[in-house]
Structure 1
């Protein structure tokens, strides 16, 4: 499940992922990204993973397509998690985007929020 947490800045998307993400979850983000791009801004994404198990097959495919289509539209991505594989995913993403991407432990989520807003 993907829950929208807050939109405190005009170019910030904040989400919390739990369980397995589906294609429907990923589709929630498209209008938010396009609203930011329509304002001529780059996207900042705070992506918190709590009890997150990854993606189902369709969700993974939709996420890959979205990331590929918007690779140059992200400015910053804060990945906040609690498991080593989540840090690995963050490192894996770096070559595929011009965005500044950082991984934060869940215990440092306030630091991540401050970083993504700065």
Structure 2
């Protein structure tokens, strides 16, 4: 007997506001399938009109090359003790400065 396959639409989502402050709010979403947590994402949002210091504002997603044209920093391997690298492919459009141990030239 084989287990039934799950489609991308058999997902329950739960959102939660974790913290609300004067300038920023943090929330999360948890995606579950068959009662098991499959993904948790956390994000912080703020108002830029009150920002001071260096601020990166991008009005649209960056233009990225095809994944096959990107750099695989792990060379198709996983990292011992880091199970996420066994399930997710990491790709860079170009190798960032911090990967080489240099200070970043651009906030990324």
TM tier, smaller:
under 0.3
More strand per residue: 1 or 2?
1
TM-score of the superposition, structure 2-length normalised?
0.24
More helix per residue: 1 or 2?
1
TM-score of the superposition, structure 1-length normalised?
0.23
Structure number with greater Rg is 2
